[in-house]
Amino acid sequence: MQPIAFGPKVIFELPFLDGIPVTETVVNTWFIMAVLVVLSIIGTRSLKLVPKGKQNLAEAVVEVLNNLTKQTMGDDKMSFAPYMGTLFLMLLFMNLLGLIGLRPPTADLNTTLALAIMTFVMIHYFGARTKGLGTYLKGFTEPFVFLLPLNIMGELATPISLSFRLFGNMVGGLIVLSLAYGGLTSLSSMLGLDLLPLFQGGIPVVLHLYFDVFAGVLQTFIFVMLTMVFVSLAMD
Amino acid sequence: MKKRKGHVLQNLALVSYIGISMMVPILAGVVAGRWLDQRFGTNPIFLFILIISGVLIGGRNAYYLAMKDVDPTTKRERK
């Protein structure tokens, strides 16, 4: 029996510096980017004052995301709405990519850690900018000076917790689904149903519903929500 | 501070984050402590120090998350 590998497959290699591997993760991210760009272009083409059809849908999506930002961060931080909206849509599409049989890019620690590091940089950049560098740095020595290393380590734990939780959820779902597909396929062929995918046709739907739709949407929401809460916390 | 809507969802996200924000520093302490002990042959001094500081950091993270919604004015009154 051959071992099952769950890591992202290398699609091709870029021919400099000993070959940079371009994995499934990156290619699927490009696909998501293309889909989002095309959808934005279609949704915002020939805008009218009274929205109709696809413009209506686009406006509804933007309004929901704007409201989410406004409720969580407050009216004064609405300038974050475009970033949070983009993050939300991108994570949503990434997590739901498993539904069409592609590997979700979020099932790769590189993707989630990159997004979490962006959140981390935002927390500290905007924290230092609104509070002033001195007050911001002094915040690390509160309530006692000797807690400084503890505070710094605690801050460094934020991107790790954020990225590991999304990555863990998505890669766990991916592994369970791959095992289920493998097992159900051999079950079908054991019963002599090679041409008729009886078991792997229907049963994984339930698993997809839980691991891709439920966990995917929930984790998207939590990631964006935590990013908003942490950034606005650092700024107040 | 004015009351914000969407509080339920926000708090759910935060509550579910408290667990992992306590766990990550402790596990990081275990990994880093074992590595440092192997490196310097000081088994198990670094492991203990880093696990204890991991627990403290986890407690600090949970405290900050829990204190997030306390109104700053009441916090000052209590001091």
DSSP string across B9-78? HHHHHHHHHHHHHHHHHHHHHHHHHHHHHHHHT-TTHHHHHHHHHHHHHHHHHHHHHHHTTS-HHHHHHH
CB A207 within 8 A of CB A79: no
Question: Is this complex scored with an ipTM above 0.90?
Answer: no
Is A157 in CB contact (< 8 Å) with chain B? Answer: yes
| CB atoms B4 and A222 under 8 Å | no
- Size of chain A, expressed as the number of residues it contains: 236
Q: How far apart are alpha carbons B30 and B48 in whole angstroms?
A: 8
Q: What counts of helices (H) and strands (E) characterise chain A? A: 9, 2
Q: What is the pLDDT of residues A180-226, one digit of tens each?
A: 888 888 888 887 766 666 777 778 888 888 888 988 898 998 899 88
Is B75 in CB contact (< 8 Å) with chain A? Answer: no
Is B63 in CB contact (< 8 Å) with chain A? Answer: no
| CB atoms A147 and B60 under 8 Å | yes
Write down the mean pLDDT value for chain A.
85
Type and span of the H or E element at A123: helix A109-131
Q: What value does the CA radius of gyration of chain A take, rounded to a whole number of Å?
A: 22
Q: What is the pLDDT of residues B13-65, one digit of tens each?
A: 778 888 888 888 899 889 989 998 888 888 888 889 889 988 988 888 888 87
Taking contacts as CB-CB distances below 8 angstroms, the residues of chain B near A226 are: 13-14, 17
CB A174 within 8 A of CB A98: yes
Q: How much of chain A exceeds pLDDT 90, in percent?
A: 21
| CB atoms A154 and B53 under 8 Å | no
More confident residue, A11 or A172: A172
Extents of the domains making up chain A: 10-235
Is B10 in CB contact (< 8 Å) with chain A? Answer: yes
Q: What value does the CA radius of gyration of chain B take, rounded to a whole number of Å?
A: 18
Which residue's structure tokens are 């006692």? A144
Compare all CA atoms of chain B with the CA of A156 and give the residue at the minimum distance.
Answer: B25
Which residues are CB-neighbours of A30 under 8 A, at least 6 positions away? Answer: none
Type and span of the H or E element at A92: helix A81-96
Per the rule left: phi > 0, alpha: psi between -120 and 50, beta: everything else, A17 is left
Which residues are CB-neighbours of A152 under 8 A, at least 6 positions away? Answer: A140
